[in-house]
Structure 1
Amino acid sequence: MTLSYQQLTEDDYVRVNEQLKKKDSIEVLKWAYQTFGDELVYACSFGAEGMVLIDLISKVKQDAAIVFLDTDFHFAETYDLIERVKKKYPLLQIKLVRPAISPEEQAASYGERLWERDPDACCKIRKLVPLENELSQYRAWISGLRREQSPSRAHTQFVNRDERFQSIKICPLIHWTEEEIWMYIKLHQLPYNELHDRNYPSIGCEYCTKPVAAGEDSRSGRWSNFNKTECGLHQG
């Protein structure tokens, strides 16, 4: 069976996930790299799940390709974390992917503070299009989605047909709970974004991310003034 987006049928996805359903995250990653090799990339946001996945990936493929969507609007703490990760895992190929236009060019073309008026348009310019261009160079990509994160992610499989990017999306952490993520981080003394200690469970761009009160949904701090909890990367 050729594992490519164009040739895999729905039955193929069912069959692959049936084969992997009793595997743990490391085994899923081993399968993914054995299957796709250098045509597999991890699109990492450097959140808590990202730190776990980076550590697991480093045990399977030390020189794995990792891309970060540098929107130009991230917190200083996020950029600092990336530098710490580079020092801890020097063999990983970490690439910061930036939009085609600068913040100044975006303001000139679309108006100031586009994220306040049309966050979907801002996400498309600074996240979706750059990732689309990047993923076109690979057969498959890795994501840190977990089923418990939100209703829209509850049915995520280990291997998913990604209509949005016409790719194959591998999600090794689907069964992990938030508690297990943090247990792993603490146990292995992994670096993580210090904003997590300030009530930011989900961290995106600085302008569109706020701290979350106790008891609130972990993604309620993202685009809090809009009916929006996803940037669009994981829809379709």
Structure 2
Amino acid sequence: MSFTAINALKNTGSVKDPEVSPEGPRTTAPLPEDIAARNLELVDKHAQALYDASAQTILEWAAEHAPGRVAVTLSMENTVLAELAARHLPESDFLFLDTGYHFKETLDVAKKVDERYNQELVTALPILSRPEQDSLYGKNLYRSSPTACCRMRKMEPLAASLSPYAGWITGLRRADGPTRAQAPALSLDATGRLKISPIITWSLEETNQFIVENNLIDHPLTHQGYPSIGCETCTLPVAEGQDPRAGRWAGNAKTECGLHS
């Protein structure tokens, strides 16, 4: 299995305003008009029926109807989507955003996923390395401007990496918090691509049960008080009974990185 790294050209300028991203690919190429029109038609016709559908039904629908290649986005917090896609979307690619700030355990899970599954694992990298970002924007941008840091290290790498695809699979669950409580199983993203969330109705308990019953690759931190795992610098453990995402950007009003808002 090949392991593809997408890394844009490095910027050597002196950009310091965190609202201005460094030079390099950071947007998604427009879809061909016929694919965009087909995606719109599919969402209009099928979104309501898929709203509370099972993961299998949603993925089988994607395999039948998606008018082009599909990427399965993996945070490596768990590997449920990898397993489901291997069963129902074997021609899809896996897409992992390596922010440069991940827990070592998260990178270990990514390595194991690459070894276990036949899909190509595409790793999307930010334009700047951590030292380059510190040099241009000041050290620890995740503290001084977490929204800008997420934009440069998550949103823009994802946008650039989605260009070859007609749609993408996400691990969104409505149970993860109030900002996701009404999220659809099928919608269009801002570029007109299909955004498909097969485990949208699952609870954290159902997710964990699927992991155990199917002997999936397990992220060790999920057993150490981390039900939701992002960058090591911005994720804390949470108390039992708390919102699963309470440890993300703890002490900050921020609740979403921007990928799903």
Q: Which one of the candidate residues 93, 109, 116 is aligned to 1:88? A: 116
Structure 1 counterpart of 2:166: 139
1:116 maps to amino acid: R
Structure 1 counterpart of 2:94: 66
Q: Which one of the candidate residues 25, 35, 50 is aligned to 2:65? A: 35
The Cα of 1:23 is off from its aligned counterpart by 3.8
Structure 2 counterpart of 1:215: 241
**Where do residues 7-156 of structure 1 align in structure 2 (5 Å cutoff)?**
9=40, 13-21=43-51, 23-36=53-66, 38-48=68-78, 51-89=79-117, 91-156=118-183
Identical counterparts, % of pairs:
36
- Alpha-carbon distance between aligned partners in 1 of 2:165 and 2:155, rounded to the nearest angstrom: 16
**Residue pair 1:4, 1:168 contacting (<8 A) in 2 also:** no
- Alpha-carbon distance between aligned partners in 2 of 1:33 and 1:96, rounded to the nearest angstrom: 23
Change (3 A) 1:6 1:233: farther
The Cα of 1:83 is off from its aligned counterpart by 1.4
SS in 2 for 1:56: helix
Structure 1 counterpart of 2:29: none
SS in 2 for 1:42: strand
2:195 maps to amino acid: K
Give the TM-score of the pair, scaled to structure 2: 0.82
Number of residues of Structure 1 aligned to a counterpart in Structure 2: 229
Give the TM-score of the pair, scaled to structure 1: 0.90
- Alpha-carbon distance between aligned partners in 2 of 1:35 and 1:72, rounded to the nearest angstrom: 35
SS in 2 for 1:112: coil
Task: Give CA deviations for 1:150-187 in whole Å, capped at 9, x if unaligned.
Answer: 11111112211212x44220011111111111111111
SS in 2 for 1:78: helix
**Residue pair 2:38, 2:67 contacting (<8 A) in 1 also:** no
Task: Give CA deviations for 1:89-125 in whole Å, capped at 9, x if unaligned.
Answer: 1x11111110111111101110000001100010111
Per residue, is there more helix in 1 or in 2? Answer: 1
SS in 2 for 1:160: strand
The Cα of 1:33 is off from its aligned counterpart by 2.0
